[in-house]
Amino acid sequence: MEYLALPFELKEDYLSRTENLKESIVCSIGLLLSTRRGAMHFLPEFGCDIWEMEFSDIYTANKATVRASLRNAIAAFEKRLSDVSVSFSTDAGNRPHVLGISVKVTGLYREDGEEKKFESSFLLG
- Give per-residue pLDDT as tens, 54-81: 655 555 666 777 788 889 999 999 999 9
State the chain's mean pLDDT as an integer.
78
Phi-psi region of 113 (alpha: psi -120 to 50; beta: other; left: phi over 0): left
- Is 65 among the domain residues? yes
Count the domains in the chain. 1
Domain residues for 45?
21-124
pLDDT digits (tens, 9 = 90+) for 77-112: 999 999 999 997 655 555 554 556 788 999 999 999
Angle 48-50-54 from CA coordinates, rounded to 5°? 150
The CATH number for 27's domain is 3.10.450.40
Angle 118-122-125 from CA coordinates, rounded to 5°? 160
- Is 6 among the domain residues? no
- Is 16 among the domain residues? no
- Beta-bridged to residue 82, according to DSSP, are 108
- Is 28 among the domain residues? yes
- Is 83 among the domain residues? yes
Asked if 50 contacts 35 with a C-beta cutoff of 8 angstroms, the reply is: no
> Among residues 100, 109, 90, which one has the least CA distance to residue 29?
109
- Is 115 among the domain residues? yes
**pTM for this structure?**
0.73
